[in-house]
């Protein structure tokens, strides 16, 4: 046992594969999956869309530590990927790490299209899913199909996680359309509690809690509604403005000036810690423009040669306006 490679080491190995990201969720999200599985203590996790199994291994780590529960993970496995050892079949990669981690008893991979393979696994999952993870076909048809096929097998009190809910960031719109649809028809909050969460890459996840045993079959939006949804997503029709703004790209225009003369300070470094120390430099007008921020309170460190640095400057990039303009005045070092 002692010389056996740990699951944490295997996860790190998968994390480092050239093909891993961004096709796999980023590490923060994967670790959240580990935590949520550890807390929910599921007996059955069903995952739709595992790619090479990065998210899967995080669910598996929780179950391995809990010493109970199993995962059924479905993927079309239809393309080869670059593993750094040449192009390999995705399923072979996923299976390789499953075996290497000794997860044969916990984890089963199913090859095929999620809605097509359902009859194959139906008896194993019927009304038994404690945690359903949807990260497969992100088209509107694909997400509605997955939800309708698997949701009714989630037990009451169980959870569903949906990845890629912010189309402006991730470029796919199925999950967003589904969530808006559930809200528009009051399925949320009547039958499902739902919380949306931003992620490091901006793609976002939704966590759904099943509250009622009502069977759901969510019909695709009719053509006219679909058109309105599409326009809304394209930003052409600003109805529900507050909601849109919450998800819209917001911009921060930060101007750094000299506290005495009020003249612009160029070359100032603006570092944002929540964006993993992303560093921007002010231009000749003292200006730094940062876009794509999800609304949040952000912490900045601002410094420039000859000036006293300002640390821990909190700027609230709220959802109520799309452009935030902030001026930071730096004081000169006295001698």
Ligand X SMILES: C[S@@+](CC[C@H](N)C(=O)[O-])C[C@H]1O[C@@H](n2cnc3c(N)ncnc32)[C@H](O)[C@@H]1O
Q: Which residues bind ligand X (CB under 6 A)?
A: 23-25, 48-51, 54-55, 74-76, 78, 113-114, 135-137, 142
133 three-class SS: strand
How far is Cα 309 from Cα 296, in angstroms, rounded to an integer?
Answer: 23
Give the shortest CB-152-to-ligand X separation in angstroms: 18
Residue number of the CB atom closest to ligand X: 49
User: CB–CB of 94/104 below 8 Å?
Assistant: no
We find the least distance from the C-beta atom of residue 37 to ligand X, in angstroms, to be: 14
Return d(Cα 107, Cα 62) in angstroms, integer: 12
Cβ neighbour number for residue 186 with a 10 Å cutoff: 9
Least distance in angstroms from the C-beta of 23 to ligand X: 5
The nearer residue to ligand X, 93 or 288, going by C-beta atoms, is 93
Q: Tell me whether residue 135 or residue 180 sits nearer to ligand X (CB atom).
A: 135
Q: Which is nearer to ligand X, 114 or 255 (CB)?
A: 114
We find the least distance from the C-beta atom of residue 237 to ligand X, in angstroms, to be 29
Nearer to ligand X, 93 or 328 (CB): 93
Burial of 245 (0-12, 13-18, 19+ CB in 10 A): middle
- Measured over all CA atoms, what is the biggest interatomic distance in the chain, rounded to whole angstroms? 78
Q: Is 277 helix (H, G, I), strand (E, B) or coil?
A: coil
For residues 57 and 118, the answer to whether their CB atoms sit within 8 Å is no
Residue 193 CB, shortest distance to ligand X, in Å, is: 23
Q: How far apart are CA 83 and CA 53, in angstroms?
A: 13
Phi, psi dihedrals of residue 298, rounded to the nearest 5°: -110, 150
In the complex, least distance from residue 4 CB atom to ligand X, rounded to whole angstroms: 23
Q: Given the complex with ligand X, which of 220 and 244 has the nearer CB atom?
A: 220
Least distance to ligand X, CB of residue 51, Å: 4
CB nearer to ligand X: pick between 162 and 188: 162
Nearest to 154 by CA among 205, 116, 207, 117: 207
**CB neighbours of residue 53 within 10 Å:** 30
Give 78 or 278: the residue with its C-beta nearer to ligand X.
Answer: 78
Looking at residue 333, the DSSP 8-state letter turns out to be P
Residue 102 exposed, middle or buried by CB count within 10 Å (0-12, 13-18, 19+): middle
């Amino acid at each position: 046992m002692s010389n056996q490679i740990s699951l944490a080491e295997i996860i790190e190995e998968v994390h480092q594969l050239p093909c891993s990201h961004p096709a796999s969720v980023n590490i923060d999200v994967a670790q959240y999956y580990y935590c949520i599985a550890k807390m929910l203590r599921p007996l059955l996790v069903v995952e739709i869309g595992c790619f090479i199994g990065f998210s899967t291994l995080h669910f598996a780590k929780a179950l391995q530590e809990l010493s109970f529960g199993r995962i059924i993970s479905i993927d079309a496995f239809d393309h080869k990927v670059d593993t750094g050892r040449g192009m390999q079949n995705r399923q072979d990669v996923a299976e390789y790490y499953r075996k290497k981690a000794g997860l044969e008893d916990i984890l089963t991979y199913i090859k095929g299209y999620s809605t097509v393979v359902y009859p194959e696994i139906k008896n194993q999952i019927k009304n038994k899913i404690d945690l359903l993870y949807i990260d497969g076909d992100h088209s509107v048809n694909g997400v509605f199909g997955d939800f309708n096929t698997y949701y009714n097998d989630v037990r009451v009190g169980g959870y569903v996680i949906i990845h890629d809910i912010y189309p402006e960031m991730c470029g796919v719109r199925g999950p967003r359309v589904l969530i808006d649809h559930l809200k528009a028809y009051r399925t949320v909050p009547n039958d499902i509690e739902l919380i949306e969460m931003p992620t490091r890459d901006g793609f976002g996840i939704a966590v759904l809690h099943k509250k009622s045993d009502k069977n759901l079959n969510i019909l695709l939006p009719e053509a006219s509604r679909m058109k309105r949804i599409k326009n809304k997503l394209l930003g052409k029709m600003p109805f529900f403005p507050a909601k849109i703004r919450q998800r819209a790209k917001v911009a921060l225009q930060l101007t750094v000036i000299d506290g005495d003369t009020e003249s612009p300070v160029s070359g100032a470094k603006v570092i944002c810690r929540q964006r993993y120390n992303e560093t921007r430099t002010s231009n000749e007008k003292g200006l730094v423009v940062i876009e794509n921020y999800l609304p949040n309170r952000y912490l900045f460190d601002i410094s420039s040669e000859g000036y006293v640095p300002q640390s821990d400057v909190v700027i609230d990039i709220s959802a109520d306006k799309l452009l935030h303009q902030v001026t930071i005045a730096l004081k000169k070092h006295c001698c």
